[in-house]
Amino acid sequence: MSEPGTLADGTRIGPYRVSGHLVANTYRAAHVTTGARVLIEIASISDWRDMMREMMRAQRLAEALKHPGVARIIERGVLADHRPWIATEVPSGLGLYEVIARRTLVVGEATSLIRDVADVLAYAHARGVIHRALTLRSITMRSGAAFPLCISEWGLRVDDLGVFGAPELTMDGRFDGRIDVYALGVIAFRAVTRRFPGEGGVFDVPHAPTGLATLIARMLAISPSERPIAAEVRAVASELIAAGEDGEDVVQVGKPRFSRPKWTPSPELVITSERAPTASGEIEKK
């Protein structure tokens, strides 16, 4: 059977109607009655049996995450051609990519963002779940909610993570939760500077307090063994906030460079995958 093409807007999938194509076999959609927005991932024809098992495993893992900062898997089903699909919650709020497109974050905002994202990642990693493709579009900022942000797009499939992909993903395919830490480092760098690491030859975090700049540099270390795990990122960011690093003591940071960080390596994590990641949100490459 030949692989079907991209689904047109308006196509019905269960109780949802497609409203846009995201990446690969992933679509934006809305419930035909309630209007609730979701992301729907559909398995391909060629590997739908393997994909069904993978999607069911991803669903079980995601459903095990009860953190308020994790988007929920709402529903699943099977199309007429036997391809399984999963619908994931799109949280209400303002996408981080929208915030960053308008302005840089002040030091307090950036440090709180790092702490809160790391809190979700540490919770997931402790339960054996890796996001695998954290991007700006994976994070929704919320006001008045139990938790200030929500991370979605767990388990989406994409071949190229672009600037968010950790260096080890192009090597032997072995990775652990520190690929999420690297992606968070890219997000934090972008939030503070409105550039991606290396754009225009800039690798250091300019005009940031030493503590924040050093933490971001640690997350962006080339070697995963030299990156902190998510729980350490959360702890360090919390300490910076408690210490009142609010941007008053701003310095131009010349070092450390990302390729030569200076700190005690974090403990090894258990390898949870044998191949490159297949999950992502929409890649931001401005």
Are 159 and 149 in contact by the 8 Å Cβ rule? The answer is no
Judge residue 284's burial from the number of C-beta atoms within 10 Å of its C-beta, 0-12 exposed, 13-18 middle, 19 or more buried: buried
pLDDT band at 56 (very low <50, low <70, confident <90, very high): low
pLDDT at 248: 42
Of 114, 96, 111, whose CA–CA distance to 247 is shortest? 111
pLDDT higher for 251 or 7?
A: 7
- Sequence ranges of the chain with CATH classification 1.10.510.10: 94-242
Lowest-confidence segment of 34-38, 74-78, 149-153 by average pLDDT: 74-78
> Strand, coil or helix: what is 61?
helix
User: E strand or H helix at 20, and its extent?
Assistant: strand 16-21
Asked whether the predicted pLDDT for residue 286 surpasses 50, the reply is no
Asked whether the predicted pLDDT for residue 135 surpasses 90, the reply is yes
Are 212 and 220 in contact by the 8 Å Cβ rule? The answer is no
* Beta partners for residue 149, in sequence order: 141
pLDDT at 237: 97
pLDDT at 51: 61
pLDDT at 274: 36
Question: What percent of the chain has pLDDT above 90?
Answer: 43
As a CATH number, domain 12-89 is: 3.30.200.20
Neighbours of 244 (CB within 10 A): 10
Q: What's the one-letter identity of residue 50?
A: D
> 22-51: per-residue pLDDT in tens?
767 788 999 999 998 898 888 766 665 666
The mean pLDDT of the chain is: 79
Question: With the C-alpha atoms ordered 118, 74, 57, 41, is the resulting torsion angle positive or negative?
Answer: negative
> 90-115: per-residue pLDDT in tens?
888 899 999 999 999 999 999 999 99
> 204-236: per-residue pLDDT in tens?
787 789 999 999 999 999 999 999 999 999 999
pLDDT band at 171 (very low <50, low <70, confident <90, very high): confident
Are 125 and 64 in contact by the 8 Å Cβ rule? The answer is no
Lowest-confidence segment of 96-110, 141-155, 161-175, 250-264 by average pLDDT: 250-264
What average pLDDT does this structure show over 275-283?
36
Question: With the C-alpha atoms ordered 214, 217, 221, 224, is the resulting torsion angle positive or negative?
Answer: positive
Asked whether the predicted pLDDT for residue 273 surpasses 50, the reply is no
Superfamily of domain 94-242: Transferase(Phosphotransferase) domain 1 (1.10.510.10)
Distance CA 275, CA 273 (A): 6
- Sequence ranges of the chain with CATH classification 3.30.200.20: 12-89
Q: What's the one-letter identity of residue 40?
A: I
